[in-house]
Structure 1
Amino acid sequence: MTIYSTFGILGIIRKVSVILLAILLALSYQAIKPPPPKICGSSGGPPVTSSRIKLRDGRNLSYIETGVPKDKVLHKIIFLHGLDSCKYNSFPISQEVMDEFGIYMASFDRAGYGESDPDPNRSVKSNAQDVEELADELDLGSKFFVIGYSMGGAFAWGCLKYFPHRLAGAALVAPVSNYWWPNFPSNLTKDVFSQEIVRDQWAYRVAHYAPWLTYWWNTQKWFPSSSLLAPHSDIFSTQDRDILPKLAGRIHNKEQARQQGEFGSLHCDMNIGFGSWEFDPMDLQNPFSNSEGSVHLWHGTEDRMVPVYLSRYISQKLAWVQYHELQNTGHMFPLADGWSDPIFKALVTGNQ
């Protein structure tokens, strides 16, 4: 074989290698790139079945209203649902409490969930802005309450950060905490993080360090993804398991939550919740220094989805937060019979 033919073969190998590399990169890009969302009301998208408002940037926000008639309203509340949920998953409230305290509640699909348009620029701040705009569009007045559950509880910190002057009070129920908030002691977060299921440890790391991989990580089939997106029995407490049969009728709600696509809803939630925040909640000042309102934090000691330890530490750092630690209760305790009424009562009265 001549030297010329040898160089010719090497040249062919290089070209084939380049082509194969290009193909590999193209396939990799397709694997990590989320599909476009199926916008509600668009051609081929899910139908619009509930009321919506138009936001500052042209997006639509879907909501429902419950409670006493407008002429009997004394307390107005906006509810922020959790991960993999929607506007229909607000806490149950007894008619007795609703009537006694004149409670009205608006529950909305956060961006990308249910029938609310996705927000490609979603952040903790934009979530808070959506809440304030909804309050204005619904004429809730200068003051209103917010209740945030689970991931919605994490975003309720944004309401306390960006428009505390509009709040009459806030309740954060089993709120997600970010392991990378600077004010957490490293030994605490390391210890609590190590108690998470291994699959969740990796899912949180991906969301924090490589958010562009979150879609691929939680849709690939090679190894387990987040247990929060594909529920694993290990994340349910004894109380949660008792509650689950009562939630069988809410399967449709989960389907609706994901109907526009999982990236703009679930995966964006994880990227924001465990990403780099614009602020640390433990730096917040008391928005009710004159006792004109109150902030409540509720958490169950047996919560396996969101460990109680970080909420406990936050309550020690923020003395103005009224902390309620509930023994022998899991993540879904507000959905058990009679458990949500005390949350509403404490919020609107400001009492423990």
Structure 2
Amino acid sequence: MHLNTYTKGQGFPILCLHGHPGSGSSLSVFTNHLSQRFQTIAPDLRGYGNSRFNDNFAMTDHLSDLEVLLDRFQVEKCLVLGWSLGGILAMELAQRLPQRVSGLILIATAARPHGNHPPITWQDNLYTGIAALLSIVNPNWQWNIDTFGKRSLFRYLIQQHTPTAYKYIASCAIPAYLQTSDKATRALYSAIRAGYNKVGDLNQIQCPSLVLAGKEDRHITAECSLETSQHLPWSQFHCYPNTAHLFPWEIPQQLLNDIDCWLKDNPQTIRF
């Protein structure tokens, strides 16, 4: 699978993996910042964005695609940043190719993912659609945020209903959602229904890891992320209060500052 890929910057490579639904371009909150010092490589995973794929596939196919991608870009070693599903793939890749992964930045993810999302109603879907469309027109429109956004499914994805968060939702989340194929959704949910649990394999990962979570995450709970961090041999964990699954779009500057500090404390993760 030849993955559509967004590359920026020069220097030590950082492979950036998106979640579901998502795309390489939806990681701009990370790549715009990190590409000032590093080379960021952000692919559209199989079945997402512009990496179109019409047949059914399994989650393991993502790993094969990523190995081919690293070969294509002649990447011998890289840091891997993964958000949600991307974090799960990052951990799998570190086990599959330990000699090529120097470190992990794991965001809103877990090796045994579990959520506590309430049932979704027709009103949730209606308000989400309205809030999304109006955010595209004007993400700064406070009336839309108060009237529809806070009563939509966005209330489970973010806790801080700011224009900044809605700007990212409008420019990144909505296009990614529309480009996510049913085959990609089927592959993910098949793995979840099978009871995905790789906690017991985490001791194989010997590179430094930074695990970051949103305290109010309803999709992959902070407790799941903490469990993952506790089973990684060389890990640092941080949980952000009053944030949820999309916390990189709620507190982007704080998050990026913490990543920068971790990179400074772990220079071996960004060294050829």
Alignment-derived partner of residue 8 in structure 2: 66
Residue 78 of structure 1 contacts residue 105 of structure 1 at CA under 8 Å; is this kept in 2? yes
- Report deviation, 1:97: 5.9
Alignment-derived partner of residue 89 in structure 1: 26
Which residue, out of 146, 158, 171, partners 2:92? 158
Residue 112 of structure 2 contacts residue 198 of structure 2 at CA under 8 Å; is this kept in 1? no
Q: Name stretches of at least 5 consecutive residues in structure 2 with no aligned partner.
A: 133-151, 268-272
CA shift digits 1:65-113 (9 cap, x unpaired): 0123xxxx1x2111110111111011425877654xx311010111111
- Bigger shift: residues 85-94 or 168-177: 85-94
Alignment of 1:1-352 (within 5 A): 59-68=1-10, 73=11, 75-93=12-30, 98-99=35-36, 102-118=37-53, 120=55, 122-140=57-75, 142-176=76-110, 178=112, 195-199=116-120, 232-239=153-160, 243-247=164-168, 249-250=170-171, 254-255=174-175, 258-259=178-179, 262-277=181-196, 280-288=198-206, 293-335=207-249, 336-338=251-253, 339-347=255-263, 349-350=265-266
| Aligned-CA RMSD value | 3.4
- Bigger shift: residues 157-166 or 333-342: 333-342
Alignment-derived partner of residue 204 in structure 1: none
Residue 31 of structure 2 contacts residue 40 of structure 2 at CA under 8 Å; is this kept in 1? no
How many residues end up aligned between the 2 structures? 243
- Report deviation, 1:298: 0.7
- Cα pair distance change 1:148/1:224, threshold 3 Å: same
Q: Looking at CA atoms only, which structure, 1 or 2, has the larger radius of gyration? A: 1
Q: Given the two structures, how large is their TM-score scaled by the length of structure 2?
A: 0.74
**Which whole-Å CA distance do the structure 2 matches of 1:276 and 1:244 have between them?**
32
- Cα pair distance change 1:315/1:337, threshold 3 Å: closer
- Report deviation, 1:158: 1.2
- Report deviation, 1:139: 1.4
Question: Which amino acid letter does the alignment assign opposite residue 227 of structure 2?
Answer: Y
CA shift digits 1:264-294 (9 cap, x unpaired): 23333333345344x6233222433xxxx41
Question: Which amino acid letter does the alignment assign opposite residue 62 of structure 1?
Answer: N
- Cα pair distance change 1:167/1:119, threshold 3 Å: farther
Residue 86 of structure 1 contacts residue 254 of structure 1 at CA under 8 Å; is this kept in 2? no
CA shift digits 1:330-349 (9 cap, x unpaired): 22222234122432552475
Question: Which amino acid letter does the alignment assign opposite residue 3 of structure 2?
Answer: L
Residue 2 of structure 2 contacts residue 65 of structure 2 at CA under 8 Å; is this kept in 1? no
Equivalent residue of 1:171, what SS? strand
- Cα pair distance change 1:132/1:348, threshold 3 Å: farther
- Bigger shift: residues 152-161 or 319-328: 319-328
Question: Which amino acid letter does the alignment assign opposite residue 258 of structure 1?
Answer: L
Identity over aligned pairs, percent: 21
**Which whole-Å CA distance do the structure 2 matches of 1:297 and 1:197 have between them?**
25
Q: Given the two structures, how large is their TM-score scaled by the length of structure 1?
A: 0.59
Residue 18 of structure 2 contacts residue 83 of structure 2 at CA under 8 Å; is this kept in 1? yes
Equivalent residue of 2:203, what SS? coil
